[in-house]
Each structure stands twice: as structure tokens, then as C-alpha cells.
Structure 1
Amino acid sequence: MAGRMAINAAKIVEQKTHVVPGKLKITEHFFDVPKDYSKPSAGTLRLFARSARKAENPADPEEEDEKKKQLPWLLYLQGGPGFECRSPQAYPWTNTMLDKGYQMLYLDQRGTGLSTPISASTLGLRGDNPVQANYLKLFRADSIIKDCEAIRKALTAGYPKAKQKWSIMGQSFGGFCSITYLSFFPEGLKEAFLCGGLQPLVKGPDEVYRRLYKKVIQRNESYYRKYPEDVERVRSIVKLLQRFGNSTVRLPSEGSLSARRFQQLGLMFGAHGGIDNLHEIVLRVSTDLELFGHITRQTLASIDGAIDFDSNILYAMLHEPIYCQGTAPNWSAHRIRKEFPQFDLDTDGPVFFTGEMIYPWMFDDYSELRKLKDQAELVAQTSDWPALFDEEQLAKNEVSVYAATYMEDMYVDFDFAQETAAKIKGCKTFVTNALYHDAVRIQPDMLPTPSTSHVSFDNVYEPAEDSYLLLDSLSSSKETAFLHQRFAQNTSSGRQTRPPLLTEIGTGSGIVLAFVTAHAEYIFGRSDLLTLGTDINSFACQATAGTVNTACKEAHKKHEEFRHTGVFLDPIVADLASTIRPYTVDVLIFNPPYVPTPGLPDLSKHDVYNRTTSETASAFDRDSHLLSLSYAGGLDGMETTDRLLEQLPAILSRDLGVAYILLCAQNKPSEVIERVRQWEGGWMAESVAHSGRKGGWEKLHILRIWRTSAI
């Protein structure tokens, strides 16, 4: 296996423990590790990490259970490159992980935080420019994961061998490090959790930036659609900065606010709220210029703080080399940008902001980076970068890997991420189009998925990508905003509206109905939501009742101070909506049997199969029949869906009715949308979510269908 070498345990230099608010026991660790693992005698680096576990006060500390001292470790690898960890209590998921039985370790990766940090001044202590550039080669993922192995061996030295493996959680660049870890030291890992961190398995960065520029263009288009007034504002600001030149307008950090640096604020687009945050800056600058004729210090400070390359110089120095194996980055983003004239500053159209890209001129415009201009050029021309991954090892991976990938990720290309996931044996992915790259930080308390552990899936449809896509869509900011507005609890005149009725057709395990019921306050903005489910499968109805009731109980435990769940009425054994009174359903959810099949299941023995016990049918025949009802869709997979669509205008309420229906590509969702829009009485339909698969009939869509006028 390429890149393998024996790693000795790190030297533990110091460990001090403190109890902090939140009943956390925080230990501050200092370790010494080799500066260069290929030359152990060439000196050491001092590394810093904080661990966290629950603070407990046993009656007799001397008798504390030895097993509690040896809890399994979960190492968190921070995004970057070049960023340190915060204190454990600052991460909302710390307590969640401790509750699951882990003890956490937050490592400042080498060169960051308190781990022999790199700045222009500390780098200068290493020698001349070539020596400094060579030193920087030791701060990529290939060295970081060796540090991790050394620390693991130090912290688990007294553990039984079976407990010496640890788990890792990598966010963004931390995920890149995790893949390097899986490639070269899998024997140290029990499991790996990656969040926006499925690195492209490439030898150089050119294709990475080629794809990312396209995503940045999309984010610019979204920005100007939301804030069309900013087209002229941004153009005016850029022209003004161009007129002043690249070094006239000074920032509080002593950097220069050039037009090209202002354009870099598009880096914000990739995070939750990034579009709105950039608009705030643009509005501030525009208002300053209109009122005072110059940009005020307060506004300059907000620009200075929006993107901080000066305090984290590794972010700029090593951003392109994190993709390199045996090739020189050679200012890749700068070169590839020439393929995209959309980013030209001299344009009569909207000025497009750039994204997470590094340019040579940054080492003129940023005050700290100015001191490293020559070193940066040497790094850009370096080609002897060692391996960061081993595809052969990843293909035979035996470590459990779970990866969250974001379809709208502006920093890690989604298609590259999917390709990487496919190359890691056993990698399980969670795909969403409702979250951005910083989801683990911005939405750590994602609405919990209801448990279905009580369900027997021998004869009930097991939740799969289609179910989770529905959860994803219904809890997305777009759909919650739509539902909050449509089903507001009070009218503009203050009159209280009726409680809405939500019905899921074909509940299966009940996971979707349970999710909506348990999180009614979040999704609908009201807790008087009434929920009802139907399924032709009696076993599914039993499962649904258990799933919904359990989810609501768990929600009540978490929010004892107020009710935020809806009111679950009942599951009903029925064919589609046959038992529902006309015009009574405000929200309908339908995950139909959408797989194209030669025909529909034979219902002649359905009543027999639908019983808990039957003397005339084997369990195998019964289970096969009931499961076929959940997937067999007949011609084009649309026979059951077409029946429901025909009934829909008479099912949905006369004023507010809306339906969410899941289809696959072979169901021809675009044709369904056009068909609905032609219904009499005022109807609208659109696709509000889709799965990550690029093509094939398996690609999933969620259609929202709603009345545009009351009848």
C-alpha cells in the first residue's frame, strides 16, 4: 500500500483537565510528533487538542469504573486547510456524541491553532524562501493523518486491543483527510463520518476548478434573482474601485480593497445565508457611497472580516496543493478562470463574484500574504507532492463509511463526490438538495428521523431514498416558507384559521407521516395540524401507528415546555383516498408505487393476504404480495398515480389544497406538470426537489401541486 510506514505513538507532553459549563470535562492535550515522518530525527512539532467527556461526580472517585475511563474515541477533523478547532462546548453536536457513548477529541491540525501555528512571522524562522516553501509541504493531509495515528496510539495505549480503533468525523477538508486516513491507515479506524468531505480523486486541481466555476455561476444567478437591485449597485462599486486602482482603498487590516478582492466576496455564497450576507455588505457599501462619497470604516471592517486569509495563511498557501499528487498546481484557479468570461470585471452585464479560488494577486492585496509572495510562487511550481489517496485500498475498504453530500455544494463538486463515494467500498451516502456545505455547523440539530426499529420489513416497505427525499424536501427552507405562508394560523385581520388536515396516501412504515406530525411546528408553523394516513396494507397501518406515536413521544420529551407536534388521528386501511370525504384534505403526500412493471399486483386474494394470520396463504406469498403493492406501478410506473391524480381535484380542500407527489424519471414528471397546469379551476405544479442521480429512470422528483384559486 503506497504511503505506508510505521507510526510510533506521539509523546504526551501535558494534559490538564477542567470542568466547563454544560457539565463537560475538557482535557487540554499537548503532544510531540515528528515534523517529517520520513525523517524522524529532523525535529518535532508540538500539537494541541482538546478532548471532551461528560463531567461526572461519583460518590467514590477511587472506584470509578475503569470501563468509563476507556470510552471509545471520536476524532473531529476540522475543515480548511489551515483552520483550527474551537472549544468542544462551542460545537452543538458535542453533547449528542457524548450521549451516544463517545469521548470527543478536537485536534488543531498541524500549523493551525496551538499546533505549532504557521504565520508569516513563524514561517520566517525556518530559513530562506526555498526552505519555507519546502517546510509547507509537510502540512497537508498526508502528514495530518500520521499525526492522528500517532495520537491515537498514545491515547489508547492502555486500552484492550479490541478498543484501540477510533472513529473519525471529517467536515470539508477534514473529510479529505479522512479519505487519506482510509487509504493508508485503515487499521486504526472503526468508522468514518464525512460531511461535505468526499474529495475528488484527482491528481491535480484543474478539473476541480472547472466544475466549481460552473457552480459559482449558478450561485451568482441565484443572488441576482433574489436581489436584482444589486446588479447596478455591484457594477457601480466595482467601477469605483477600478478607478481608484488596486492599492488606494485601504482596509483596517492594512490590506487593499481592490475590485478583484471585492469580487472574492462570492466565497460567501456557498454557506447558509451567504447570499443574504453578501447583500448586506453590498447594501452597506452602496449606502456609504451615496451618503458620504466614501466607504466608512465600519463597512470596511465588515469586508475585512468576511474572508480572512491573513489569519489562516495555510488556507491560501495550500488550497490548490490539497488536490495534487505528482503535479504542480501552477495557479490552477487563475488559469482556468480564463475559460469563464462570466467573471470578467469589465462587463455591461451583472458582475459575477468568484468563489473558493486562490489567485496570485492575493499576495499583493492581503497584508499578511504580501510577506509570502515569493514562497507562494515556489509552492505553486512544486510538483513532487506525495500521494493523498489509494484507490486500490479504497476499493477493498472494510471500514464503515457514512458520507453526507450536498447537491448545491459550491466548494466540493457534487458529481465528483458521488464518483468518490462509488469508489469507496461500502460507503453509504446521505444526499440532499436542501442543505449547503456548512450544514453540519449551521444545522447541527437537524430534525430527527423517526425510528422504525419496531417495524418488520418482511411485508412493509422499508424507507429508502424516496422516503428520505420527502423528509428532506418537506423540511427545506423553501417548502417550510411556502407552508407557513399558506397555512398561517391567523389571517391578516387576526381571525384564526381552521386546523389544516394532512393525509399521507400509502404510509408504509409511517416514517414520513411521523416526521411531519412530530415536527408540525417547524414545518407548518403551527401545532394544531391534524394528520391521517391510509394504506391498502394492514401491516403498514399497524407500523404507521407505532412510528408516529413513538416519534411524537420523543418530540414531547425534547420539548416539554410546549407542544410542537401535530395531532395524529389514525391510520386507515384503504385503497388510496377511498375513505376520505371530498374537499377535506389540505395537504396530501403520496409516495406511490412508481417502478414500471408489466402489470399491477393481483388483488383477488388481497383480503386473505391482508390478515395477520391466514390458513390459505403462506407467509412468503403474503409478504411478496404486500411488498409488490409498494413498488409495482404498471405501465410507465404510472397506473396507480394516474388514478390518484384523477381523484385529486375532488380530494384537496377548495381553497388551500396542496399535494406532494413523488415520481421517478420514467414517470415523465415534466408531462405530469403540464397536465396538471391544464386542469380547470386554477392549478399549478412544479418540481421542488430531486434526487442526486444524474440519469436513468431511478432519478426521483417531488412535485408540488396546488390550487391557485379557491372554488
Structure 2
Amino acid sequence: MSAGSSYVVRGTALRDHWFDAPLDHADPSGPAIRLFAREIYDPALESGNLPWLLFLQGGPGGRGNRPLGLSGWLREASKSFRVLMLDQRGTGLSTPASRQTLPLVGGAAAQADYLSHFRATDIVADAELIRAQLGSGPWSIFGQSYGGFCALTYLSFAPEGLKEVLITGGLGPLAGPADQVYEATFGRLRARNAEYFARYPQDRAVATRIMDHVRNVAEFLPTGERLTPERVQMLGNYFGGNTRIDALHYLFEDAFVPTPDGDRLSDGFLTQMSAQVSRAANPLYALMHESIYVQGAASNWAAARVLAGHPEFHPDAPEPLLTGEAVYPWYFEQDPALVPLRGVAELLAVRSDGWGPLYDPAQLARNTVPAAAAVYAEDIYVDRDISLATAASVRGLQVWESADFHHDGIADDGEGIFARLLSMVRGDAG
């Protein structure tokens, strides 16, 4: 382990930490990777006297947050903790996995074997290695979205390392198949489309017009590839937030401009569109997304198979609905950051061996670690009914269900949500 000197950014104290970890924790003498984590605390407090809180980011494939100050849930957490913001393996500064770095491993088959060590069980093993090297006793963890999935894995296989667990929007199914997730979330997404187009009825015609336009007229994103109707549909990712849903309206109103060749999509729209649909910043999301549900059987492009039974989401429907959090084979044909990874993506999608269990239901049923989770009633990414079924399988897990927030609730009222969950696990909730 190595650590840098502390420094202060806008009233936030930071210290960078580096750790060496085995690629395969079952083979400590094998290839190694480097892990990065950033310590965050209030400089007005003596950090050495503060207990640790490990934050597990959503994803998969999302790096830890890069805060520019103590705000939101970090403001609340820093009253009681020094926060460790982990770049999960393969993300950020933790031996990144991308089209640029994965060829160093070998061909597609070697890359698939390599990435089989980038799941929640490996992230938990990394966390335990880090905890030991920091000299911490059992610590508190906070998991958002996929980070909550990792928290359940932590409760399954290393509960001795945990003091208390907080989860927001992150209670996934404990067993397969992945299809159940998409059947549920397509239903939530259909309702969210109806809600949006009822709020902004003029946008229904705009969205359809954009998709018809790019089907017939070549419009190119700043990264050089042609924009397609199915990539326009990816704007449904805006539906996962309380405020982002309204931001979509402002994007649509910038869509067309008059030109000598007739109405075309504006440069401003195309630039914003590119930022929404590219996976250049988090390629592991596309590569590993369906694997977070896989335990012993191949996903075989589950989202694409389920979508086939929902014609209202087909790009050639009369008024196609916008899609949400899912990955389809065409991602690896249309996104320049993913095209070189098409071979490994196909191998991961059909991989049926090498996927070990992500949870231990027996251990969860006898859990003794205090835990609390926020479940959002209309969450389009992590279904409410699946979440409640999972919660019922974890002994002592307290649930706070809310219809006031969507999947990004901690971006809306992080301070309030964090404080509520912490009070729940400590037995002093009002």
C-alpha cells in the first residue's frame, strides 16, 4: 500500500491511496492489478479519529466520484466518517479495462477470461484486502445501485468485515435468470415514457421526428459515427432521475435547425447526444452489465431477447418508446469505443462456465450485520418488487420505501437519505 499526502480542495480534505491486488484472489501469486481509492474527510475534524465508510459506486464500470467539495450525501457522511471512494477494479485509476488496455491481455478469449475476475465477488475481495492494509476493523459501507449489489455480496461472503450497511436503489435479484430483470424494468420504463410524454406532449412528435429523420438522413455524431434511431432511444436513460427527466425536454427543444439543405439536427443536439450514448468513459458497463445477474448460466443477450417481446420499444414502431438501462449487441457495432470489444462481448454473453455464485442465500438468511436500504417505488433500473423480495431474504434488513425519488435519489437529497438510513441501522430512526 502507498498513500500520498493530504490536500484540500474547496474545504474538502483528500488523500490518495494505492493498493496491489491479485487479479484472481484464489491465486495470490498470479498476475496483479493496481487499485486506487481516495480518502475524503472534513479537514475541520481529526481524520485519524474517524471510522471508515467505504462507498461502492454504481455501474458496473463506474469509477468513484470525483468530488469538488463536501456536498450532498458526502456532507452528511463526513460528519461521522472518513469516506473511502474506491475506483472498482477496471475503472478510473484501478488498472482500467478498455479498448485501449485490454489488448495487452491478449485476444478476445484471453480478455473474456480476464474479465471473469471483474465481478462483485472480486470487488468484495479487493475491499477486504484494502480494509486489512488500512488497519481498519469492521467498517461501514454505502452502496448505490450496483454498489448495493456488491454490498449484498459482501454480506454473503465477508460479513465479518462489516459494521453496518447502507444501500440505495441497489437490491437486485438473488437468483437468475437475467430475463426477469428486463421483463420488470421494461414495464416500469413503459410507465415512465407515458409520464414523460404526458408532461411534455409536444415532445412525442419531436422524438418520433428525430428517429424518422436519422433513419432517412445521415447525421453524424462528433465521434464520427452515424446516429441511428436505436441510439436516439437511449435517451430514456434520462428517465432514471427526478430532475434529469426534465433535462430531456431541454435537449429535445434544441434538436432541429434550418439549413440550406432543409432542417437538420443541430450541432448542439448532436454534441449532447454523443455524451449520452457513448460508453467511452465506462466500457465495462457494456461488457459486464448482464453478468451482474448471471450465476451459472449464460445471459445470452437477455435484454435483447426480452425487448423482442415488447414491440412498442422496437425502433421501427410507429412511435417508438425510449429505452433505459440495458445493453444490446448493436452497442458493439455502433459505438466506436466498443467496436474493438465486440469479440470479447460475444464471448461473455454466451459464457456459461466461470461464473460463480454472487450471493449466499443461507448466509443472508442468518445475517447479523445491521443493514438498511432505500427502495424507490418507480425505479426503472432496479425494480421495486424484485428489491422487496430480496430484502425479505436478508435477515434484519430494514427497508425504507419511497415514491419521492427515482434511481438517482442521492443526487436529489443525498444528505437526507444518508442520514435516514444511518439512523435506521443504528436504531434511532424516528
Q: TM-score range by the shorter chain?
A: over 0.9
Could you report, residue by residue, the CA deviation over 1:139-159 in whole angstroms, capped at 9, with x for unpaired residues?
A: 111100000000001101xx6
Q: How does 1:89-104 map to 2 (within 5 A)?
A: 89-90=68-69, 92=71, 93-100=73-80, 102-104=81-83
Corresponding residue for residue 301 of structure 1: 271
- Counting only pairs closer than 5 Å after superposition, residues 636-651 of structure 1 correspond to structure 2 as none
Q: Distance in 1 between matches of 2:330 and 2:122?
A: 29
Match of 2:201 in 1: 228
Does 2:172 correspond to 1:199? yes
Q: Which residue of 2 aligns with 1:37?
A: 25
Equivalent residue letter for 1:400: P
Measured at CA, do residues 397 and 227 of structure 1 come closer, stay the same or move farther in structure 2, by a change above 3 Å?
Answer: same
CA distance in 1, matches of 2:297, 2:104: 28
Rounded Cα–Cα distance in structure 2 between residues aligned with 1:422 and 1:309: 35
Q: Distance in 1 between the 2:37 and 2:127 partners?
A: 11
Aligned mate of 2:367, from 383, 397, 400:
397
Distance (Å, rounded) in 1 between the aligned partners of 2:83 and 2:315: 46
Kept in 1: contact 2:156–2:359 (CA 8 A)? yes
Q: Give the distance between the partners of 2:191 and 2:257, measured in 1 at CA.
A: 27
Change (3 A) 1:298 1:147: same
CA distance in 2, matches of 1:242, 1:275: 25
Structure of greater relative contact order (alpha carbons < 8 Å, 6+ residues apart) = 2
Provide the rounded CA distance (Å) in 1 between the counterparts of 2:98 and 2:105.
Answer: 11
Q: 1:273 to 1:95 in 2, by over 3 A?
A: closer
Indicate the larger mover: 174-183 or 278-287.
Answer: 278-287
1:178 is matched with: 151
* Rounded Cα–Cα distance in structure 1 between residues aligned with 2:65 and 2:116: 25
- Looking at structure 1, the residues matched to 94 and 146 of structure 2 have their Cα atoms a distance apart, in angstroms, of 17
SS at match of 2:26: coil
When normalised by structure 2's length, the TM-score is 0.93
Q: CA deviation at 1:69?
A: 2.2
Quick one: which amino acid aligns to residue 136 of structure 1? L
Selected match of 2:333 from 351, 361, 364 = 364
C-alpha separation between the residues in 2 aligned to 1:113 and 1:20?
A: 21
Q: What is the correspondence of 1:185-334 to structure 2 with a 5 Å cutoff?
A: 185-244=158-217, 248-287=218-257, 293-334=263-304
The aligned residue for residue 15 of structure 1 is 3
Report what 2:400 is aligned to.
430
Q: Does 2:104 correspond to 1:116?
A: no
Partner of 1:9: none
| Matched-pair contact (CA < 8 Å) for 2:257–2:264 | no
Question: How far did 1:255 drift?
Answer: 3.2
After the TM superposition, which residues 556-635 of structure 1 pair with which residues of structure 2 at under 5 Å, given as runs? Answer: none
How far apart are residue 249 of structure 1 and its match? 2.5
| Residue identity matched to 2:19 | F
Stretch deviating more after TM superposition (303-312 or 210-219): 303-312
Measured after TM superposition, the shift of residue 278 of structure 1 is: 1.9
Deviation (angstroms), 1:17: 2.2
Aligned residue number for residue 378 of structure 2: 408
1:294-350 alpha-carbon deviations (Å, 9 max, x no partner): 2222211010112331221001000000000001010000000011111123333x3
Q: Residue 150 of structure 1 corresponds to which residue in structure 2?
A: 129
Native 8 Å contact 2:75 2:415 kept in 1: no
- SS of the equivalent of 2:337 reads helix
RMSD after superposition: 2.3
Q: CA deviation at 1:268?
A: 1.3
Tell me the distance in 2 between the aligned counterparts of 1:387 and 1:295: 47
Structure 2 distance, partners of 1:33, 1:116, is: 10
2:152 is paired with a residue of what secondary structure?
helix
Counterpart in 2 of 1:694? none
Partner Cα separation in structure 2 for residue 328 and residue 370 of structure 1: 22
Secondary structure of the 2:329 match is: coil
Cα distance, 1:336–1:415 mapped onto 2, change above 3 Å: same
1: distance between equivalents of 2:258 and 2:412?
Answer: 30
Distance (Å, rounded) in 1 between the aligned partners of 2:32 and 2:305: 37
Q: 63, 80, 105: which one pairs with 1:126?
A: 105
Q: 1:383 aligns with which of 338, 352, 369?
A: 352
For residue 265 of structure 2, what is the amino acid of its counterpart? I
Letter in 2 for 1:436: H
| CA distance 1:111–1:278, change in 2 (3 Å) | same
TM-score after normalising by structure 1: 0.57
Residue 70 of structure 1 and its aligned partner are, at CA, apart by: 4.6
Q: Relative to structure 1, is the Cα distance of residues 36 and 291 closer, same or farther in structure 2, using a 3 angstrom cutoff?
A: same
Query: Is contact 1:25-1:54 (8 Å) kept?
Result: yes
Is the partner of 2:358 in helix, strand or coil?
Answer: coil
Percent of aligned positions that are identical: 39
Aligned to 2:66: 87
Structure 1 Cα separation of the partners of residues 258 and 151 of structure 2 = 45
The change in CA–CA distance for 1:428 and 1:447 in structure 2 (over 3 A counts) is closer
Secondary structure of the residue aligned to 1:333 is helix
Which residue of the partner structure matches residue 546 of structure 1?
A: none
Q: How does 1:495-510 map to 2 (within 5 A)?
A: none
CA positional deviation for 1:292 = 5.1
Bigger Cα Rg = 1
Q: Alpha-carbon deviations, 1:246-275, whole Å to 9, x = none?
A: xx4321122331011111111111112232
Q: How much does 1:281 deviate?
A: 2.1
Counterparts of 1:129 and 1:22, CA distance in 2: 44
Q: Distance in 1 between matches of 2:416 and 2:75?
A: 14
- Separation in 2, partners of 1:405, 1:221: 22
What residue identity is the alignment partner of 1:329? S
Q: Structure 1 pair 368/277, CA: closer, same or farther in 2 (3 Å)?
A: same
Per-residue Cα deviation, 1:630-683 (whole angstroms, up to 9, x for no partner): xxxxxxxxxxxxxxxxxxxxxxxxxxxxxxxxxxxxxxxxxxxxxxxxxxxxxx
CA distance in 2, matches of 1:421, 1:81: 21
Structure 1: gaps (5+ residues) = 1-11, 58-63, 454-462, 465-510, 512-711
- In the alignment, the residues of structure 2 paired with residue 25 and residue 311 of structure 1 have an alpha-carbon distance, to the nearest angstrom, of 26
Counterparts of 2:337 and 2:316, CA distance in 1: 28
Cα deviation code 1:511-533 (max 9, x no counterpart)? 8xxxxxxxxxxxxxxxxxxxxxx
- Opposite residue 328 of structure 2, the aligned amino acid is Y
Change (3 A) 1:432 1:288: farther
1:152–1:288 CA distance, 2 compared to 1 (3 A): farther
SS in 2 for 1:372: helix
SS at 2:20's partner residue? strand
User: Which AA in structure 1 matches 2:35?
Assistant: L
Match of 1:78 among 57, 81, 84: 57
